[in-house]
Amino acid sequence: MSKLFNAYCRVYQKALYVGCAFLDWRKPELLKGAGAVKQLPSEIKARGLKKVLVVTDKGLMSLGLLNSLFEELGNQGIDYVLFDGVQPNPTIDNIEDAVELYLDNGCQGIVAFGGGSPMDCAKACGARIARPDKTIPQMRGILKVNKKLPPLFAVPTTAGTGSETTIAAVVSNPITHEKNAINDNHLIPKVAVLDPELTVGLPKHITSTTGIDALTHAVEAYIGKSNTLGTKRAAEKATKMIFDNLYNAYENGKDLDARMNMLEASFWAGVAFTRAYVGYVHAIAHNLGGHYGIPHGLANAVILPYVLDYYGETAHKKLAKLADIAGLETMGMNTKQKAELFIASIRELNEKMGIPTKFEQIKEDDLPVIIERALKEANPLYPVPKIMDKKDCEAVIRQLMK
């Protein structure tokens, strides 16, 4: 990595950091607690909406998780149109199908119900409605939407993505295997519902991987170079709550307190990274997901400790502080030892929850494209502790291969 390119990345990141101070970083209005989803229709009605598009997937429909929402929409006199065709990594075609349904039925707002995929689909759908003159690839990047979306309401059913409060949506191109990351403040939902009853039935492997996904958001935001006082506090709060509650939620899925705390942790991690950005964990995860269909939370969970190892001493001071905040036994340790303990604790938590340490899907022939696209996503945008070049990125990815 040349010194000139390094300098360019840092200047770019600094300019973006200054520019971000002038953007609207509003948080969504929150509805919290058991049964909170039933309060959403009255919020929709209060905004004068008479018909909404509900974006979800067939798995959630089969579980009946939307029944109470549909019933209360009816009680409030609000019509809805259902789009339940969201795929695990929503595609451009997915988005266009949802847009067509929205327009053909004269909808006035969008309800995103589910994990990261329905959230991404709903946000990108809203972006396409706001900007019919732009394709998904044309909105890839930062502030390419730049127009008000239809009112967007978010109901997360996993505690991981934090998408209910972020500016981001990620859409896959199944032809090129690329992921298009759209980042625009207009994508922040108007209202977010944190209802732990919607997460009690999550399979253990979803609870674990989405929980570490939230931790990845908090940690990558915290150790980066674009923090504000607010993002630091949000990341610290999220990290503490995840270490205190994730394993309890994993072991006892019906623990409503642990489930509620994980939803809040995911929310605060989202607050942190939507302003302070992420890092190479996400850049690599997005491209492994695009190539092989690896779920995003799982990819982040596996990759996180390897990238933290790569950062080395450039991240030690902040990781050491997180070790203290997380309540780890750090008495008598120096900064390096605390940081290494924090990384080891992530590996230990992953192991306890059955998260693998490698990916068998990665193929040697795919490495050049994955590396190129990961670095294209990350550099110069992500304000990481240490900037990767191709050799660095390859070395990290090779550690992930079986």
**What domains can be seen in the chain, in order of their start residue?**
25-198 (3.40.50.1970), 203-400 (1.20.1090.10)
Work out the widest C-alpha separation in the chain, in whole angstroms.
65
Cα distance between residue 138 and residue 145, in whole Å: 9
pLDDT score at 384: 98
Average pLDDT over residues 62-66: 95
pLDDT at 178: 86
Percent of the chain's residues with pLDDT above 70: 100
Q: For residues 226 and 212, what is the distance between their CA atoms, to the nearest angstrom?
A: 22
Q: How far is CA 15 from CA 12, 52, 195, 229, 339, in A?
A: 5, 39, 38, 18, 29
Distance, in Å, from the CA atom of 97 to the CA atom of 83, rounded to the nearest integer, reads 9
Query: With 70 as the cut, is the pLDDT of residue 7 above it?
Result: yes
> Residue range 214-235: average pLDDT?
98
- Tokens representing residue 283 in the block: 């850049």
Task: Tell whether the model's pLDDT for residue 241 goes beyond 70.
Answer: yes
- Determine whether 22 is exposed, middle or buried from the number of CB atoms within 10 Å of its CB (0-12, 13-18, 19+): exposed
What is the arithmetic mean of pLDDT over 151-176?
A: 95
pLDDT level of residue 402 (50, 70, 90 thresholds): confident
Q: What does pTM read for this prediction?
A: 0.96
The pLDDT value recorded for residue 179 is 86
Q: Which tens digit of pLDDT belongs to each residue from 266-282?
A: 999 999 999 999 999 99
Average pLDDT value for the chain: 96
Rounded Cα gap, residues 223 and 111, in angstroms:
33
